[in-house]
C-alpha cells in the first residue's frame, strides 16, 4: 500500500486495471471514498476524460448550482506526487450568478493557469463538476456557421489586416472561435511590443492577405515591407525550395511581431482542411501558444496547454543556436560549441588529474537547453568519471533502439570523455528520440525527474537488467532501477548520513538486497522538489550493505562472531550505537535480552550459508564486509538540477557541474555549462555532526551548501560487481 508501505493480500478477481490517464484524474480527489465511487461510476470519469477547454459545466457551491466554463485542464503544481501521479484539476471560470463566488483569478500558488475576473476562478477535481453534454468543438462550429470550418474566410496561420484605433495594422491569425453568436479571430499584431501580443477581433473586421493592397508584402520575419508581391506563377514547390529544409523535430524560431519571437519544436507538418498552404504544428518552449496540439476539434499532436501553435511552415526559421558553423560566426561557434559531430572512438571514464584537465572550466560538461538540466546532471554523473553503467553503451540492442544507444554513446558519452563538452543539440537529439519511444510527449521541452528519464532509457528502451533485486519478508522478489527511501520522521536523526537513512528505510519496510548491486541509486526522502524531510544530509562516502543482504553471513555486533539472530527493536534502542543493524551470536543475544527492558523483543533467526558454517568451524573467520563507493550526487534547488561527482580517491576530489551556470546573449543566446572543483566539501565531511548541524547554509563555503542541503539522488557503485554486470 502506497500510503503506509504495508503489504496486504487480495483476491485477484476484485482488482481492476487502472490506466495512467485515469489514475491522474482520480488522484486529484482527496477523499478516498469519493475517489472509489468515481472510479466505479464511470459516467463522471468518462465525461471528465473527454472534456475540453471551453466546455460548459455546473458547479455546486454552498448548496447552490452555478454555471461555468472550463478554462484549464491539467496539474496545478510543479512536480508529481511521490507515486509518480500527476493529479488533473479543472480550472473553471464561474459565470452568471456565480461571479464573485470563486477563490482566484486563474492563478494558483503564484502561477497563472488561465485568466478570468477576480474571485471568479476555481480549481476543482472532476467529481465536483457536472459536465454538460455538447457536440465536439469542431462540430459545434460547423452547426453554428457552416462557413466557419473548411470554407472559413480566415484560418489559423493566415496573415490578415485590421483597423485598431483608426490605424491599419497587420498580423497573424492565431485562433478562430465563437464568442456567444459572433465569430472572433485571435490575432498577433506584427507591430506591437511584447507587452500586448494578442488581440481578439470580430471576424467581420479583418481582411485576408490576398485582399490587401498589392503594393505591400507581409514578410513573416520582419513585418511590413514596401516591395512587390511574389509573382503568382511561382509554385509552392519553388517557394519551398527557397526556404530552409525543415521537418518534424526541427528546432525553430517564429517571429510573431516586431521584436517578439518564440522558439519551439515542430511536431506536425501538413495541410489543414481547405488550406493548401503547408502548415507546421509547433510545441513552444514557453507558454505563449494557444492550444495543446488540437485545432478546431481535431488533434494533430499533443503538448502541454498553451504550448501549441499552428503557423505557416514558411514562417518557421531554423533556430540559429542549433546551426552548423556555416551559419554562425567563428567567435559564436567557439563559445557555443554547437557544431558537435559524433565521436565514434570509445573512451574510458576520466579520473584524477586527467578528469580535471579535460572537464574543469567554462563551456565544459553538457550544455543545457530548454529544461534539460535533469538529463544533463544525470548523464554527467553516470558517465563522466565511472564505467559502472557502460553496459548501456555497448549492450546489443534491437534495431529500433540502436539509434538511441548510438546517440548516447557517440554524441554524448564519447565527446564528454574526450573533449569535456557535449553540445545542447546532441542532447536534444536524444530527447526527441525519448519523446518518440516513451508515452510522454514532452521529453524534448518539459522538465522531468531524473528517475523518470533513467527508468525510460534503462528499462523501456535499452532493456538492461534491473540494478536492484529486493525482497520483503518472504514475498516475491522485486526488481527496480532506483530505490526511494521511505521513512517516518525520526526525531533523533537531526543531521543523518546516508548509511542511517538506508538502514532505517530497509528495516521499516522489512527489505533485503537479494544480491550485491553493481550500481545502487538512492532517492532521498522528500515530497516532490520542495519539501525536504531533513535540512542537511551527510554523504556517506562508503555504504556498508553487509547487513542489508539476504541470506548472507553477518557478524555479531557485540563480539564479532557469526551472528544467528537479528533484533529490529534493538536497532532503535538508544543504549546501542546509532548506526548498524543489530544482530547477535547466540550467547550475546541471550545476554543482551536478559535486561528487563529487552525481554519482550521479537527476534528473527538468520540464515547462515552451510559453506560458511563449515569454514568458520575450522578457525576464527571474520565475516567479510560488503561496501559500495559513492561516485555522484544529484541535487535540486528551485527546480534546477546540478550534480557533484567524485573524480578521485581523496576527500577533496569533488567537482561541481551546472549545465546552465551562465548564459551568452538573451533569447538568441545559449547556456554556458561550467565544471568547477569544490575541495571545500572535505572540510564539512570531517566536521563533527553537532558542528555541521549548527552551520548556517548561507555561511558554508563555495557550493558545499548545495551538496549537504539539496541532495536529491545518491549514486553508489561496486567496482567488484561492475566487472560481471
Phi, psi of 348 (to 5 degrees): -75, 165
Helix (H) or strand (E) segment spanning residue 176:
strand 167-179
Q: How many CB atoms lie within 10 A of CB 371?
A: 19
Report all structural domains of the chain as residue ranges with CATH numbers, in order of start: 12-134 (2.30.30.190), 138-225 (2.30.30.140), 348-464+635-683 (3.90.70.10), 565-624 (no CATH)
Find how far residue 532's CA is from the centre of its chain: 18
pLDDT in tens, 585-636: 888 888 888 888 788 888 888 877 666 655 555 445 567 788 999 999 999 9
And the C-alpha cell for 160?
Answer: 490578415
Res 482: pLDDT: 92
What is the average per-residue pLDDT within 488-513?
A: 82
Phi, psi of 278 (to 5 degrees): -75, 125
How far apart CA 650 and CA 660 sit, in angstroms, is 28
Report the percent of the chain where pLDDT is more than 90. Answer: 18
Give the 3-state secondary structure of residue 332. helix
**pLDDT for residue 370 is more than 60:** yes
Asked if 161 and 212 count as a contact pair (C-beta separation under 8 A), the reply is yes
Give the 3-state secondary structure of residue 9. coil
Q: Please state, rounded to an integer, the average pLDDT across all residues of the chain.
A: 77
* CA-to-CA dists, residue 14 to 10, 11, 409, angstroms: 8, 6, 46
And the C-alpha cell for 346?
Answer: 570509445
**pLDDT for residue 262 is more than 90:** no
Helix (H) or strand (E) segment spanning residue 352:
helix 352-359
Res 97: pLDDT: 78
Find how far residue 111's CA is from the centre of its chain: 18
Among 197, 319, 190, CA closest to 266: 319
**pLDDT for residue 657 is more than 70:** yes
Higher per-residue pLDDT: 274 or 356:
356
Res 82: pLDDT: 56
Res 195: pLDDT: 42
Res 615: pLDDT: 53
What is the average per-residue pLDDT within 467-494?
A: 81
Among 172, 199, 197, 170, CA closest to 184: 199
Among 468, 473, 544, 554, CA closest to 502: 544
Helix (H) or strand (E) segment spanning residue 164:
strand 159-164
Res 520: pLDDT: 95
Asked if 501 and 525 count as a contact pair (C-beta separation under 8 A), the reply is yes
**pLDDT for residue 228 is more than 50:** no
And the C-alpha cell for 319?
Answer: 533556430
Q: How many CB atoms lie within 10 A of CB 59?
A: 21
Beta-bridge partners for 632: 645, 715
Number of helices and strands (H, E) in the chain?
21, 40
Asked if 92 and 121 count as a contact pair (C-beta separation under 8 A), the reply is yes
Higher per-residue pLDDT: 601 or 528:
601
pLDDT in tens, 94-120: 988 788 888 889 888 888 889 998 889
> Exposed, middle or buried by CB within 10 Å (0-12, 13-18, 19+), for 10?
exposed
Q: At what angle do helices 32-40 and 42-49 cross, to 10 degrees?
A: 90
How far apart CA 48 and CA 693 sit, in angstroms, is 49
> Exposed, middle or buried by CB within 10 Å (0-12, 13-18, 19+), for 476?
exposed
pLDDT band at 655 (very low <50, low <70, confident <90, very high): very high
Res 330: pLDDT: 34
Give the 3-state secondary structure of residue 83. coil
**pLDDT for residue 529 is more than 60:** no
Beta-bridge partners for 666: none
Res 169: pLDDT: 75
- Order of strands across the sheet that contains 308-312: 308-312, 279-284, 260-270, 251-257, 316-318
Strand ranges in 258-291 using DSSP code E only, listed in sequence order:
260-270, 279-284
What is the average per-residue pLDDT within 698-714?
A: 91
Strand ranges in 481-626 using DSSP code E only, listed in sequence order:
483-484, 511-513, 519-523, 526-527, 531-532, 542-544, 565-567, 583-584, 603-605
What is the average per-residue pLDDT within 131-156?
A: 46
Res 151: pLDDT: 38
Find how far residue 348's CA is from the centre of its chain: 29
pLDDT band at 10 (very low <50, low <70, confident <90, very high): confident
Among 350, 320, 359, CA closest to 336: 320
What is the average per-residue pLDDT within 7-22?
A: 83
Pairing between β-strand 670-677 and β-strand 711-717 as defined by DSSP bridges? unpaired
What is the average per-residue pLDDT within 498-523?
A: 89
Beta-bridge partners for 31: none
Report the percent of the chain where pLDDT is more than 70. Answer: 75
Beta-bridge partners for 179: 182
- Cβ-Cβ contacts under 8 Å for 61 (sequence gap 6 or more): 98, 101
Res 226: pLDDT: 35
- Catalytic residues, by residue number, are 373, 640
**pLDDT for residue 38 is more than 70:** yes
How far apart CA 480 and CA 478 sit, in angstroms, is 7
* CA-to-CA dists, residue 636 to 506, 528, 564, 659, 715, angstroms: 24, 10, 42, 13, 15
pLDDT band at 541 (very low <50, low <70, confident <90, very high): very high
Amino acid at each position: 500500500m502506497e500510503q503506509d508501505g504495508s503489504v496486504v493480500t487480495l483476491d485477484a478477481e476484485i482488482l481492476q486495471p487502472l490506466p495512467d490517464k485515469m489514475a491522474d484524474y482520480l488522484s486529484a480527489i482527496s477523499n478516498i471514498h469519493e475517489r472509489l465511487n468515481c472510479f466505479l461510476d464511470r459516467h463522471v470519469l468518462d465525461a471528465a476524460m473527454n472534456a475540453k477547454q471551453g466546455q460548459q459545466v455546473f458547479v455546486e457551491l454552498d448548496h447552490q448550482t452555478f454555471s461555468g466554463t472550463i478554462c484549464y485542464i491539467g496539474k496545478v503544481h510543479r512536480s508529481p506526487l511521490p507515486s509518480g501521479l500527476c493529479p488533473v484539476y479543472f480550472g473553471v471560470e464561474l459565470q452568471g450568478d456565480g461571479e464573485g463566488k470563486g477563490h482566484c483569478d486563474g492563478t494558483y500558488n503564484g502561477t497563472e493557469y488561465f485568466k478570468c475576473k477576480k474571485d471568479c476562478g476555481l480549481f476543482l477535481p472532476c467529481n465536483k463538476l457536472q459536465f454538460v453534454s455538447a457536440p465536439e468543438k469542431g462540430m459545434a462550429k460547423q452547426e453554428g456557421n457552416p462557413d466557419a470550418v473548411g470554407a472559413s474566410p480566415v484560418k489559423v496561420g493566415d496573415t490578415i489586416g485590421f483597423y485598431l484605433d483608426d490605424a491599419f495594422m497587420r498580423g497573424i491569425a492565431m485562433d478562430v472561435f465563437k464568442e456567444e453568436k459572433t465569430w472572433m479571430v485571435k490575432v498577433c499584431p506584427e507591430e506591437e511590443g511584447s507587452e500586448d501580443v494578442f488581440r481578439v477581433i470580430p471576424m467581420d473586421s479583418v481582411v485576408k492577405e490576398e485582399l490587401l493592397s498589392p503594393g505591400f508584402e507581409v514578410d513573416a520575419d520582419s513585418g511590413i515591407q514596401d516591395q512587390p508581391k511574389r509573382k503568382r506563377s511561382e509554385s509552392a514547390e519553388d517557394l519551398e525550395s527557397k526556404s530552409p529544409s525543415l521537418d518534424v523535430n526541427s528546432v525553430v524560431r517564429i517571429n510573431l511581431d516586431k521584436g517578439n519571437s518564440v522558439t519551439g519544436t515542430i511536431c506536425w507538418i501538413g495541410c489543414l482542411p481547405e488550406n493548401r498552404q503547408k502548415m507546421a504544428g509547433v510545441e513552444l518552449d514557453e507558454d505563449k501558444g494557444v492550444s495543446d496540439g488540437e485545432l478546431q476539434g481535431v488533434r494533430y499532436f499533443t503538448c502541454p496547454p498553451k504550448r501549441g501553435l499552428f503557423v505557416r511552415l514558411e514562417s518557421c526559421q531554423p533556430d540559429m543556436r542549433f546551426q552548423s558553423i556555416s551559419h554562425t560566426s567563428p567567435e559564436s561557434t567557439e563559445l557555443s560549441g554547437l557544431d558537435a559531430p559524433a565521436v565514434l572512438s570509445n573512451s574510458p571514464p576520466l579520473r584524477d588529474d586527467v578528469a580535471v584537465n579535460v572537464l574543469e572550466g567554462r563551456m565544459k560538461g553538457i550544455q543545457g537547453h530548454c529544461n534539460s538540466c535533469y538529463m544533463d546532471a544525470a548523464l554527467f554523473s553516470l558517465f563522466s568519471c565511472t564505467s559502472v553503467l557502460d553496459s548501456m553503451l555497448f549492450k546489443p540492442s534491437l534495431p529500433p533502439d540502436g539509434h538511441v544507444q548510438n546517440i548516447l554513446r557517440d554524441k554524448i558519452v564519447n565527446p564528454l570523455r574526450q573533449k569535456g563538452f557535449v553540445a545542447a543539440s546532441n542532447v536534444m537529439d536524444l530527447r526527441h528520440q525519448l519523446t518518440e519511444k516513451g508515452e510522454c510527449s514532452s521529453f524534448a521541452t518539459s522538465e522531468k525527474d531524473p528517475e523518470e528519464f533513467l527508468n525510460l532509457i534503462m528499462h523501456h528502451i535499452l532493456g538492461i537488467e534491473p540494478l536492484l533485486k529486493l525482497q520483503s519478508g518472504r514475498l516475491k522478489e522485486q526488481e527496480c532501477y532506483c530505490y526511494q527511501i521511505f521513512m517516518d520522521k525520526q526525531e533523533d536523526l537531526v543531521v543523518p548520513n546516508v548509511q542511517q537513512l538506508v538502514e532505517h528505510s530497509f528495516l521499516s519496510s522489512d527489505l533485503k538486497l537479494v544480491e550485491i548491486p553493481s550500481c545502487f541509486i538512492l532517492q532521498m526522502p522528500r515530497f516532490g522538489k520542495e519539501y525536504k524531510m531533513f535540512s542537511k544530509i551527510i554523504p556517506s562516502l562508503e555504504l556498508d550493505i553487509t547487513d542489508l543482504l539476504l541470506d548472507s553471513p553477518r557478524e555479531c555486533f557485540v563480539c564479532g562472531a557469526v551472528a544467528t539472530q537479528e533484533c529490529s527493536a534493538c536497532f532503535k534502542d538508544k543504549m546501542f550505537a546509532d548506526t548498524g543493524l543489530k544482530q547477535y551470536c547466540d550467547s550475546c543475544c541471550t545476554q543482551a535480552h536478559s535486561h528487563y527492558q529487552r525481554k519482550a523483543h521479537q527476534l528473527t533467526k538468520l540464515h547462515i550459508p552451510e559453506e560458511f558454517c563449515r569454514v568458520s568451524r575450522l578457525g576464527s573467520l571474520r565475516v567479510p564486509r560488503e561496501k559500495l563507493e559513492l561516485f555522484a550526487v544529484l541535487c535540486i534547488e528551485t527546480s534546477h538540477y546540478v550534480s557533484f561527482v567524485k573524480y578521485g580517491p581523496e576527500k577533496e576530489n569533488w567537482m561541481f557541474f551546472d549545465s546552465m551556470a551562465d548564459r551568452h546573449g538573451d533569447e538568441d543566446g545559449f547556456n554556458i555549462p561550467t565544471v568547477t572543483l569544490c575541495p571545500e566539501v572535505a572540510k564539512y565531511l570531517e566536521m563533527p555532526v553537532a558542528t555541521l548541524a549548527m552551520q548556517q547554509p548561507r555561511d558554508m563555503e563555495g557550493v558545499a551548501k548545495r551538496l549537504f542541503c539539496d541532495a536529491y539522488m545518491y549514486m553508489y557503485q561496486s567496482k567488484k560487481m561492475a566487472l560481471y554486470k
